[in-house]
Amino acid sequence: MRSKVVTIDRHIIDEERRFPGASGRFSALLYDIALAAKIISREVNMAGLIDVLGRTGERNVHGEEIQKLDAFAQDVIVKAMDHAGHLCCMVSEECDEIIAIPDRFDIGPYVLLFDPLDGSSNINVNVSIGTIFSVHHRVTPRGRPGQLADCLQEGTRQLAAGYIVYGSSTMLVYTTGIDQGVHGFTLDPSIGEFLLSHPNIRIPDPPARIYSANEAYYARWSRPQQRLVDHFRGLDGDGGGGFKSRYIGSLVSDFHRTLLQGGIFMYPPDRTSPGGKLRILYEAAPLAMVCEAAGGRASDGARDILGIRPTGLHDRTPLYLGSSNFVTLAERYLAGGREGSARGPDFQTSRISERGGSDS
């Protein structure tokens, strides 16, 4: 039995006490996110028994088929969050436009951006999936409905970011800033409480030697990207290798493993999606904040994810996420340089050959 039992509610109150001027509104917002997570978790864990598997027959803004559980999770979050007076608007992967707060409800100072169900292709085969969320403070005058400018903010400005992973257990992991630590809570379904199970998560150093990418796309990648993965595979004689490959196909699950064990997750650009696949506002930016708060790095292959200001709600980005050394190594390969081996913290930085330009 742990020395003390700390519920997420207790943790949020204790965190709030560290900021004397706190209004409590932000804490209430986090409670409501945890509530929505419990409801979605119940449905996910019953999915095989009730009619929430399969497709709705509709497509979202990205042209992807909407799964029943996508729609369910979307509905739960909107209904849990729209009436408490915390938000001026919401952004969801499943909605083309900003989700307005109904006139009958008070408008608050925050913006919630979310991927209601991440890893949808894994729903029907009982592989772990997740929900990703990001919270910003509005930048336009209070009292009026939230606008695009309130949503299109750099990741560094997030007030909170996190995810829920519906796996062998349901965990909620969040941070309120890159210097505020990362805390993980595991749902005890017998009492319906998220209990603090992973206080102050730090990406392990030395990291596990795991790289994670959908290698089926290798032929579509740039030459530097191929060379990077060849290095991880130990094929280029640069002392790389000794890595394991792990790819679940649910970003939340691949990232959660990377957060707890170390390694690097990559969703590179390729010929068919030169801007990458993953969305900035509700996939890359929130996980980038969690990753950096745990001592890791998050890059688009050349610059920090958290410094990117999207121009559209559903803008995409290439994503390199995980142990700092590996992400930095990836950037150097992608810049056309070639580095010594990725041997963990004692990287050799002897340049083997510097090829000008990209021969992709």
Cβ of residue 12: shortest distance to Mn ion, in angstroms?
Answer: 25
Q: Is 251 in the site for ligand AHG (CB under 6 A)?
A: yes
**H helices present in 18-128, as ranges:** 25-46, 68-81
User: Does 93 contact Mn ion by CB under 5 A?
Assistant: yes
Q: List, in sequence order, every residue forming a beta bridge with 131; answer none if it has no partner.
A: 164
> Using CB under 6 A, which of 32, 82, 118, 236 touches ligand AHG?
118
- State which of residues 16, 32, 115, 236 lies at the interface with Mn ion (CB under 5 A): 115
Cis bond before residue 206 (omega within 30° of 0): yes
In angstroms, what is the minimal distance from the CB of 277 to ligand AHG?
6
Going by C-alpha positions, the residue among 170, 70, 74, 169 that lies closest to residue 120 is 70
Site for ligand AHG, residues 46 to 65, rule: CB under 6 A: 64
Tell me, letter by letter, the H, E, C secondary structure of 101-161.
Answer: CCCCCCCCCEEEEEEEEECHHHHHHCCCEEEEEEEEECCCCCCCCCCHHHHCCCHHHCCEE
Work out whether 250 is an interface residue with ligand AHG (CB under 6 A). yes
Quote the Cα angle for 116-106-138, to 5°: 65
8 A C-beta contact, residue 63 and residue 74: no
Instruction: Check binding of 300 to ligand AHG (CB under 6 A).
Output: no
User: In whole angstroms, how close is the CB of 212 to ligand AHG at the nearest point?
Assistant: 9
Q: Does 118 contact Mn ion by CB under 5 A?
A: yes
Which residues ranging from 83 to 102 are in contact with ligand AHG (CB under 6 A)? 93
Q: From the list 115, 150, 292, 339, which residue makes contact with ligand AHG (rule: CB under 6 A)?
A: 115
Please give the backbone phi and psi of residue 265, each rounded to the nearest 5 degrees, phi first. Answer: -105, 135
Question: Among 56, 156, 186, 214, which residue sits at the site for ligand AHG (rule: CB under 6 A)?
Answer: 214
Phi/psi of residue 294, nearest 5 degrees: -95, 10
Q: Of Mn ion, ligand AHG, none, which one does residue 214 interact with (CB within 5 to 8 Å by kind)?
A: ligand AHG
Residue 120 as a binder of ligand AHG (CB under 6 A): the answer is: yes
Contacts with ligand AHG, residue ranges (CB under 6 A): 64, 93, 115, 118-121, 214, 249-251, 267, 277
